[in-house]
């Protein structure tokens, strides 16, 4: 057992080196450019009051972009707690093209897709950019996304991201997990071809492409709707492109329980996509494996623990050089983030039910989800 831990930790150290190389290669490529900036509709499904929601949404309007931009804000009901922020944004930008749709959403276990499907008839332009309400972008976002979408054979453009904690310590820990762990893993997946992520941070596509895969309504009972959209577009013979840019995910987890439920849902989503390969992601957890090795065979494990810690901090520092200022990783939180992420990984191996924005969902075959009928609300 001790030697198995040693070998696993050794492989995990090699993985960290590979992640650093993949990160450098991905962001070394220059972003695409285009001579035209087409009209776009930004689709923003909203749910509940989030810290700095109005400011996060405003970043999508404060763009260096010449083409017409419509911002389509969509809630499930007129009394959703996100509506005041949406109305404040409309008042702040009286000359902007902002549409507020207040439901009702279409039925389905995936409320976000039901929301988007119901709001879609209000989208005026043929280039659609769907992104989660907790994303923050810089002024070049629209220009770079539309330029990438304009390249030959591109069907969808998505984006990598780092984290920002907006709700105290637990949200900052979650942000550290995103930047120091999730981002390197996604870059390695891209570099090796083991993953072709299409993420809720950005899903940019043409209306005709969306219609060819059944629209948002086709994904109303799918947990990983973003990945499923990317896979459906690839099945049409088009490419999913991830340009060399980083967005910021604004975390709102104010408690340990909220942080656990959020990251467990993400981990279970990855499990549904990767299948048995999810178990192999054990080797991405270098620090916990080195710590376990140090506990059972200190003479070999302690040097490995030091090496793992140094590699993790160096990788996080490299990510900080690429990330926007507000998305930089607090290096002091990296060890705790690694340990918490390992606990999440262990929990994801057995979880069969998840919480998603106040709803309890049960996992079904092929990535489908159903409301949990065993829970009374």
pLDDT of residue 368: 64
In this structure, what token pair is assigned to residue 125?
């332009």
Instruction: Provide the CA 180 distance to its chain's centre, in angstroms.
Output: 14
Q: How confident is the model at residue 158 (pLDDT cuts 50, 70, 90)?
A: very high
| pLDDT surpasses 50 at 222 | yes
| pLDDT surpasses 90 at 3 | no
| pLDDT surpasses 60 at 374 | no
Q: How confident is the model at residue 234 (pLDDT cuts 50, 70, 90)?
A: very high
| Model confidence pLDDT, tens digit, residues 285-333 | 999 999 999 998 898 889 999 999 999 999 999 999 999 999 999 999 9
| pLDDT surpasses 60 at 64 | yes
**Secondary structure element (H or E) that encloses residue 98, with its range:** strand 97-101
| pLDDT surpasses 90 at 188 | yes
| Model confidence pLDDT, tens digit, residues 81-104 | 999 999 999 999 999 999 999 989
| Model confidence pLDDT, tens digit, residues 22-51 | 999 999 988 888 878 999 999 999 998 888
Among the residue ranges 193-197, 257-261, 359-363, the one predicted with the least confidence is 359-363
16-20: long-range contacts at Cβ-Cβ below 8 A with a sequence spacing of 24 or more? 16/184, 16/286, 16/308, 16/311, 16/312, 16/315, 17/311, 18/188, 18/191, 19/184, 19/185, 19/187, 19/188, 19/315, 20/184, 20/311, 20/314, 20/315, 20/318
The arithmetic mean of pLDDT across residues 103-127, rounded, is 92
pLDDT of residue 352: 74
pLDDT of residue 375: 47
**Do 126 and 207 contact (CB within 8 A), yes or no?**
yes
Rounded to whole angstroms, the Cα distance separating 23 from 332 reads 21
């Amino acid at each position: 057992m001790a030697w198995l831990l040693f070998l696993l930790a050794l492989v995990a150290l090699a993985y960290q080196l590979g992640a650093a190389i993949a990160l450098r290669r991905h962001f070394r490529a220059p972003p695409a450019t285009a001579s035209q900036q087409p009209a776009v509709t930004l689709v923003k499904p909203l749910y509940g009051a989030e810290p700095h929601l109005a400011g996060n949404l405003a970043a999508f309007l404060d763009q260096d972009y010449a083409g017409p931009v419509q911002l389509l804000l969509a809630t499930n009901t007129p009394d959703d707690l996100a509506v005041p922020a949406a109305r404040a944004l409309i008042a702040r930008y009286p000359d902007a093209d902002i549409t507020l749709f207040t439901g009702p959403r279409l039925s389905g276990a995936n409320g976000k897709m039901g929301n988007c499907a119901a709001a879609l008839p209000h989208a005026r332009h043929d280039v659609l950019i769907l992104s989660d309400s907790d994303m923050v972008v810089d002024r070049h976002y629209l220009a770079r996304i539309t330029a990438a979408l304009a390249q030959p054979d591109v069907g969808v453009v998505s984006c990598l991201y780092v984290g920002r904690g907006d709700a105290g310590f637990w949200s900052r820990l979650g942000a550290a997990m995103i930047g120091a762990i999730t981002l390197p893993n996604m870059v390695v997946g891209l570099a090796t071809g083991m993953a072709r992520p299409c993420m809720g941070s950005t899903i940019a596509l043409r209306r005709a492409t969306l219609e060819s895969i059944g629209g948002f309504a086709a994904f109303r009972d799918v947990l990983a709707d973003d990945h499923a959209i990317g896979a459906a577009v690839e099945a049409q013979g088009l490419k999913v492109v991830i340009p060399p840019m980083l967005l910021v995910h604004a975390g709102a987890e104010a408690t340990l329980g909220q942080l656990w439920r959020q990251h467990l849902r993400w981990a279970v989503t990855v499990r549904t996509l990767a299948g048995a390969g999810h178990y192999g992601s054990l080797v991405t957890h270098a620090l916990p494996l080195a710590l376990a090795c140090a506990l059972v065979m200190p003479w070999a494990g302690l040097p490995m623990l030091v090496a793992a810690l140094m590699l993790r901090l160096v990788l996080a520092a490299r990510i900080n050089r690429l990330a926007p200022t507000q998305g930089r990783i607090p290096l002091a939180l990296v060890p705790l983030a690694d340990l918490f992420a390992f606990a999440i990984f262990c929990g994801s191996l057995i979880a069969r039910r998840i919480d998603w924005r106040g709803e309890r969902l049960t996992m079904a075959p092929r990535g489908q989800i159903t409301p949990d009928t065993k829970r009374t609300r």
